[in-house]
């Protein structure tokens, strides 16, 4: 990836109306810088993260995005709902209610949920999954009343033990479908799902349950911090267009968020990252 | 893991009749050493690898195991069937026929197939999967005529790009079921499948298709060489007994192979590794 990638004539022709910058992609920027970056580059939407939002306060962040006319495509993230110990579980539920309130204040249509992995020392995967289901049942009406949809994110199976016991879109839909569609949806993230032989059938099944569509590439080798294997589109192994077409065919008309955790991307000039992101989005996703 | 783990009274009581040492677990040993180690420890079966077998010659290896009365539970491995280029594809098919011949000479009931990842530079996952299916169709009758079963191994999705475009047991069974049961089966490997919410239903579906059952743990963090994330049972996150019970309930009565790729295990004294393996097998798998 180089800055030159972004300096191209095709930019003026690309349709950016559905493009959203997930704030994590420009990890060194606070909310104000990310919002300003989107405005400079003509990116109409942003996916916010709780920590940088809290750094400046929810009201200030909400004002910033409202004043620029940006859409908030999602708030990342709630979840981590697998604690077995009652006090820890209560803390998690309370924090998720707060996250729902923040999403509502920001005008985010959905709160992305990374549901959590196995508690330390536990090997009881079915029990962890049950606690997730119970917690979603507690949170869903609260979210619905505030106009926020819980977006269950199946994570790549390599994160099953430590991040999310929800690993496939089928599994996420099995859970989401227990609740009203306006309360609980799912995230389709190419990085997490690209390998799944059932994914296109499940995207078709998902239909109106798709609350968020996130794109980024799967890079090899998997780095020492496995969370940072996410790459700029085109740098890895994923064929994006079939995913975008499948999500479109399922009826999803929302934003397409680019969310990249990657040490090299984070070390680059964020303005160059945005330029490359726009170019790759136009060339590989649209 | 320490040598002391293995020096326990429960060893004499443990039923080792189905235990098999996959040779990779004692990676520093050649065939003769691994065979002698199994005999010393009362392990009745061994899973062999092609490279160490070829180091001493197939006939010599076959004689070694026959003379000691060990069962050969499997030969690892064939596969790597995703090349698109005709000459590379032909080489892969020829090499797999040779591997089938080797399995037959060794008395191995099955040849484990790691089917291969995306060819360099390719992002066409469906096409790679089709080439695997075509190659299995070419190889299955050849294997069947020699009394060797092809054992399709679904690998953990983190290896989809570079090792195996077969990622779930359901997907492996969809392919295996196209062929006679004596020609094509599947491998159930706890490391690769533990995260799959559908795995127990698929094990039940597999029934007589289960050609090999391999156990080892899933360790965190994933090491720099992701292939080495496999761990000694008890060192990671997997609950083994439900897997063993499910495989038994599906009708599988064959060997239970312990196959561990792990730098620490490989650096330890192989005799200590065997002692620990027997103890953990008795405590956690049986």
pLDDT single digits (tens) B49-74: 999 999 999 999 999 999 999 999 99
Q: Which residues contact B281 (CB under 8 A, 6 or more apart)?
A: B14, B16, B19, B215, B233, B256, B258
Give the nearest chain B residue to A238 (CA atoms): B123
DSSP state of B271: H
Region B246-275: mean pLDDT is: 97
Is it the case that residue B6 has pLDDT exceeding 90?
no
> What is the C-alpha separation between A157 and A195, in angstroms, rounded?
10
> Which residue in this structure is represented by tokens 């050609």?
B211
Q: How far apart are the first and last CA of chain B?
A: 19
* pLDDT tens-digit map of A75-121: 999 999 999 999 999 999 999 999 999 999 999 999 999 999 999 99
Model confidence at B7, in pLDDT bands (50, 70, 90)? very low
Query: Helix and strand tally (H, E) in chain A?
Result: 12, 10
Residue A224 and residue B224: Cβ atoms within 8 Å?
A: yes
* Contact (Cβ atoms closer than 8 angstroms) between residue B198 and residue B170: yes
How far, in Å, are A16, A274, B166, B258 from residue A68 at the CA level? 16, 18, 47, 59
Residue A198 and residue B170: Cβ atoms within 8 Å?
A: yes
Is it the case that residue A1 has pLDDT exceeding 90?
no
Residue A125 and residue B195: Cβ atoms within 8 Å?
A: yes
Per cent of chain B over pLDDT 90 is 93
Sign of CA dihedral A59, A182, A261, A3: negative
- For residue B222, which phi and psi values (nearest 5 degrees)? -65, 125
* pLDDT tens-digit map of B151-162: 999 999 999 999
- By Cβ distance, the residue of A158, A196, A236 closest to B158 is A158
Give the nearest chain B residue to A175 (CA atoms): B197
Q: Which residues contact B264 (CB under 8 A, 6 or more apart)?
A: B1
> What is the C-alpha separation between A111 and B187, in angstroms, rounded?
39
Chain B interface test: which of A171, A201, A237, A243 (most B C-beta within 10 Å): A237
Q: Which domain holds residue B122?
A: 3-285
| Total domains present in chain A | 1
Tell me what the pLDDT averaged over chain A comes to. 95
CATH code of the domain containing A154: 3.20.20.150
Contacts of B173 in chain A (CB under 8 A): none
Contacts of B237 in chain A (CB under 8 A): 118, 123, 161
Q: How far apart are the first and last CA of chain A?
A: 19
* pLDDT tens-digit map of B193-226: 999 999 999 999 999 999 999 999 999 999 888 8
pLDDT of residue A76: 98
Give the nearest chain B residue to A237 (CA atoms): B123
Question: Could you give the residue ranges of the DSSP H alpha helices within chain A?
Answer: 3-6, 31-41, 50-56, 58-68, 86-106, 125-145, 169-176, 190-193, 199-206, 240-249, 263-267, 270-280
* Nearest-CA distance B284 → chain A (Å): 12
Residue A123 and residue B237: Cβ atoms within 8 Å?
A: yes
Contacts of A170 in chain B (CB under 8 A): 197-198
DSSP state of A259: -
Region A24-46: mean pLDDT is: 97
Region B273-282: mean pLDDT is: 97
- By Cβ distance, the residue of A123, A156, A224 closest to B238 is A123
* Contact (Cβ atoms closer than 8 angstroms) between residue B256 and residue B20: yes
Is it the case that residue A3 has pLDDT exceeding 60?
no
Q: What share of chain A is helix, strand, coil (3-state, %, to 5)?
A: 50, 15, 35
Contacts of B218 in chain A (CB under 8 A): 161
Encoding tokens for residue B91? 């080489």
Contacts of B196 in chain A (CB under 8 A): 157, 167-168
- By Cβ distance, the residue of B125, B220, B226 closest to A161 is B220
Give the nearest chain B residue to A130 (CA atoms): B197
Chain A interface test: which of B116, B237, B243, B246 (most A C-beta within 10 Å): B237
Residue B157 and residue A195: Cβ atoms within 8 Å?
A: yes
Find, among B25, B17, B106, B108, the residue nearest to B64 by Cα. B106
- By Cβ distance, the residue of A167, A198, A237 closest to B123 is A237
């Amino acid at each position: 990836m180089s800055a030159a990638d972004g300096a191209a004539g095709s930019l003026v022709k690309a349709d950016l109306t559905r493009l959203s910058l997930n704030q994590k992609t420009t990890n060194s920027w606070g909310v104000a810088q990310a919002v300003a970056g989107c405005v400079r580059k003509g990116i109409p939407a942003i996916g916010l993260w709780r920590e940088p939002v809290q750094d400046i306060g929810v009201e200030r962040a909400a004002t910033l995005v409202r004043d620029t006319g940006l859409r908030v495509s999602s708030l990342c993230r709630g979840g981590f709902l697998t604690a077995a110990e009652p006090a820890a579980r209560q803390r998690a539920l309370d924090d998720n209610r707060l996250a729902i309130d923040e999403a509502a204040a920001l005008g985010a249509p959905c709160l992305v949920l990374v549901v959590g992995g196995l508690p330390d020392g536990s090997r009881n995967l079915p029990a962890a999954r049950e606690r997730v289901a119970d917690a979603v049942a507690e949170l869903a009406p609260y979210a619905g009343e505030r106009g926020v949809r819980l977006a269950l994110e199946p994570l790549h199976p390599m994160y099953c033990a430590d991040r999310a016991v929800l690993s496939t879109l089928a599994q996420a839909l099995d859970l989401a479908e227990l609740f009203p569609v306006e309360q609980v949806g799912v995230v389709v993230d190419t990085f997490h799902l690209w390998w799944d032989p059932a994914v296109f059938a499940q995207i078709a099944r998902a239909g109106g349950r798709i609350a968020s569509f996130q794109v980024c590439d799967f890079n090899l080798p998997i780095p020492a911090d496995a969370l940072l294997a996410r790459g700029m589109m085109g740098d890895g192994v994923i064929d994006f267009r079939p995913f975008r077409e499948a999500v479109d065919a399922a009826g999803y008309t929302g934003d397409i968020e680019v969310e990249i955790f990657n040490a090299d991307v984070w070390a680059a000039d964020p303005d160059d990252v945005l330029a490359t992101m726009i170019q790759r989005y136009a060339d590989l996703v649209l």
